[in-house]
Structure 1
């Protein structure tokens, strides 16, 4: 994918215009659950070369929503996310590289206090005046975070799509 790179600088994630959506299998793979998490903050530091850029983002476990109140309550409980004890899921990049024409963002995803490797593929990047819009997808293994309850009834993997709008921060006088 050929993309116009954004200008060098630090971009703050706009939490009102960004989101994480997910899909996961349940009931022994016969059904699909869809839902979302709200981002609570983060930033993208764009560098030259782009491979030295960094990303940090955080989402609220309490914002988990699937459209089913009973399911949402169960997922937020100690059975899965334990949202009261672990109110945040975070991602911090460790590398960015282009593989077979696709930009890959690798890093560490921390959920329920457990850190595990995660990888996202850049699906789109739009650059305008001071904003960038990014969509990236990744497959997350909940077992890697110690979230292993209800095997079979709740799928092991979540497919995430992260859609972010971030605004370039102005550099003050030195």
Structure 2
């Protein structure tokens, strides 16, 4: 295991990196009950890759998120959100994010939820670089109705504010 050190660069060296699902997560914040109550929860990242190339802005990312991993403080709500009314995790078990251009200046990728693909801008907040690994912290705002997740209008929040934390290791 590598020791954490400060490096002069915030760009990982070129190569093919795999996302470590155990060291990566997506957390979210939204509102419930007519926008009065905050709801926090998470999704699990099941797999993914990042290809860092020169120039770094031309790098690519592919991330797979387990739709059934949706977790919030209420087991009853979790079951409803995973159901056909919201995520339809049985028919659409994987949520994907793909970006063909990555850079520090608000990269945009394609998020696919329930078979519906939409562009989503991502803000990279921090990058921690090691010799053969790196971690990234990014944020995004997603409008669930843009993906056909329209159940419980008024009761369930329309927007999810996401924090994505990914840890990667270089494999070649």
Q: TM-score range by the shorter chain?
A: over 0.9
- Scaled by the length of structure 1, the TM-score of the pair is 0.91
Measured on the aligned residues, the alpha-carbon RMSD in Å equals 1.3
2:43 maps to 1:37: yes
Which structure features the higher share of strand residues?
1
Structure 1 residues 61-101: Cα deviation after superposition (integer angstroms, max 9, x where no partner):
11110021000000001110011000010000143344xxx
Q: Distance in 1 between matches of 2:135 and 2:128?
A: 5
C-alpha deviation, 1:40, in angstroms: 0.6
Aligned residue pairs, count: 165
User: Counterpart of 1:135?
Assistant: 137
2:87 maps to 1:112: no
Q: Distance in 1 between matches of 2:153 and 2:130?
A: 45
Where does 1:33-112 land on structure 2 (aligned, <5 Å)?
33-98=39-104, 103-112=105-114
C-alpha deviation, 1:4, in angstroms: 2.0
Q: Which residue of the other structure, out of 114, 121, 126, is the alignment partner of 2:128?
A: 126
User: Counterpart of 2:166?
Assistant: 164
Q: Distance in 1 between matches of 2:91 and 2:31?
A: 26
Q: Distance in 2 between matches of 1:96 and 1:67?
A: 33
Structure 1 residues 39-66: Cα deviation after superposition (integer angstroms, max 9, x where no partner):
0100111111111100110100111100
C-alpha deviation, 1:3, in angstroms: 5.3
Unaligned runs of 5+ in 1: none
Contact 2:9 2:129 in 1 (8 A): no
Q: Distance in 1 between matches of 2:107 and 2:99?
A: 7
Contact 1:3 1:125 in 2 (8 A): no
